[in-house]
Chain A
């Protein structure tokens, strides 16, 4: 029972690690928490749905194309909405992301309604490994999340663009003095955001179903994961997501399942009270 719950939690953690990494990267570069993240996941999932079910493309191809489209869309959104507000403080950007989230969620509702939908996938039978029941969707979720995490690690640690992103997250003025093109880094960050969020959309759509609130439902868990790991720390986001996923599944053993989403909130509260920099963040030096 416990191992089964742990495994389910691992799957949930793998799914939320992608958006958690997305907001943590964006926070590093643009310094605001993006509340639209849940709705972007939803819209990306519906984009995959349109390509996969309505045009009949294979799911993998649909996901890759949707990821690219989602990244391009986010770059466009940034240049129209967020760039003009860049200097007016993080609260303005937060409120704007809230508004953007409402627009996107309701665009999905406008075009596809409130009914739950699913991708064009063959039904897979759950199978047993030892005492564990699992299905192929869950394995895909873990595999895909691990793959994207590895890719992100290589990008951030081994590639010039990753180094630039880290430099800007670390010290924007110094990065600027060193001739790093901030606009280019921001575009890349949104592109990566698009890929990660579209990936999360596919995984949530496979694990549960597509509906207008599919991404927003995870919003608290996503922020809990990112804060637990320390906003701005990619490795932290990954570990934080696994902790949040497993602990909220484990909580269903002792608490009514309705409170599952309350557990991440307790993590947020605890971490902000005792260790505001997160598990993997460094203490901020403030003015």
Chain B
């Protein structure tokens, strides 16, 4: 039971990083990413191939995956410079994600096609006894999540974080204030992409085996659900949102105990239907999410009484 919880905790950690990446791009930066599944698979495959085929160290491979996905995301943001409308940008990212899926599926010589990549090494794999490995695995994942979380908190509170929110609210106002909107958009999408690559790499190390069926577009719904449930822009909320989605997904495995006479395919379909309904209910009844985004707080204005005197602030 403990080891089950540790495994679930590890999954929750890299799912939370994926959700934080989407939250960074969309929640803070206002750049919607419907190609998330494709970028995530790009990260997983980059890390896996660097580790398996190029023989790189697991940590070097992760850095490589972050670099690859970050670069691709940056290029996407750069070439869509004239596509400022959210709708069009969403469609472009959807298309890029689809293209990445096609490449993974068709370039057998590199990715193994539908068969996938096997034998992916794990961080500290050889030096830890297999019985205690789940603890190490969870510990590493939790540390990476913590580091990501702190890094994002710093960015969100930095001047760049304010530029991001300004662009999200109204990019014309941001441009009028002298902010370089295009360059900021490229950076937003690239940093978010690097985080997606990180999550993808952790996914590959966790499962030690990846194939195209692990990266379907349902991931996009999960990630959006985590971000929306947590509250757009709220980092802690997004992490809780990701945990919530994982619990929901795991919990719905037990549906088969309550609904007799459904086969495995039907059960899988039913779980996705429930997730979809959950997403719609969230959008309908709680679109602002459950936690709030960080706001710069200043001291309350001193109160001024009728005689023009500043009174004690109570």
Contacts and interface: CB of A to CB of B under 8 A. Distances in A.
A223 interface: yes
A223 B280 CA distance: 23
Given A90-B86, A110-B270, A261-B102, A95 B80 contact: no
B79 interface: yes
B161 interface: no
A287 B171 CA distance: 11
B95 A268 contact: yes
A276 B105 CA distance: 30
Interface residues of B, number: 42
Nearest to B228: A95
Nearest to A284: B85
A227 B32 CA distance: 18
B95 A109 contact: no
Contact of A92 (B96, B99, B270, B287): B287
A269 B95 CA distance: 9
A151 interface: no
B92 interface: yes
Contacts of B26: 91
A98 B220 contact: yes
Interface string B86-119: 1110111011101100100110000000000000
Given A85-B283, A99-B279, A102-B275, A265 B265 contact: no
B90 A94 contact: yes
A91 B32 contact: yes
Nearest to B32: A91
Contacts of B5: none
Interface string A219-230: 110011001000
A100 B90 contact: no
A91 B83 contact: no
Interface string B52-69: 000000000000000000
A268 B91 contact: yes
A99 B266 CA distance: 18
Contacts of A272: 80, 82-83, 88, 92
Contacts of A124: none
Interface string B24-56: 001000001010000000000000000000000
Which secondary structure characterizes the binding site on chain B? helix
Interface residues of A, number: 45
A269 B224 contact: no
Contacts of B277: 99, 103
B272 interface: yes
A96 B283 contact: yes
Contacts of B90: 33, 91, 94
Contacts, number: 122
B266 A110 contact: yes
B155 interface: no
A175 to B, nearest CB: 21
B273 interface: yes
Given A92-B283, A227-B88, A276-B88, A103 B273 contact: yes
A269 B277 CA distance: 32
A114 B83 contact: no
Contacts of A114: 265
A223 B94 contact: yes
Nearest to A115: B265
A106 B224 contact: no
Given A88-B287, A99-B283, A268-B91, A109 B228 contact: no
29 contacts: A33-B91, A35-B94, A81-B284, A84-B284, A85-B283, A91-B26, A92-B283, A92-B287, A94-B32, A95-B224, A98-B34, A98-B220, A99-B276, A99-B277, A100-B280, A102-B221, A102-B276, A106-B273, A110-B269, A113-B266, A220-B95, A223-B94, A259-B102, A268-B92, A268-B95, A272-B82, A272-B83, A272-B92, A287-B172
Interface of B: 26, 32, 34, 79-80, 82-83, 86-88, 90-92, 94-96, 98-99, 102, 105-106, 172, 218, 220-221, 224, 228, 265-266, 268-270, 272-273, 275-277, 279-280, 283-284, 287
Interface of A: 27, 31-33, 35, 81, 84-85, 88, 90-92, 94-96, 98-100, 102-103, 106-107, 109-110, 113-114, 219-220, 223-224, 227, 231, 256, 258-259, 261-262, 264-265, 268-269, 272-273, 276, 287
Q: Which 6 A-B pairs have the closest CB atoms?
A: A103-B276, A258-B106, A99-B279, A106-B269, A265-B95, A109-B269
Given A99-B283, A269-B92, A272-B80, 20 more contacts: A27-B87, A35-B94, A90-B86, A91-B26, A91-B90, A95-B283, A96-B280, A98-B34, A98-B220, A99-B277, A100-B280, A103-B273, A106-B272, A109-B269, A259-B106, A261-B102, A265-B99, A272-B82, A273-B80, A276-B88
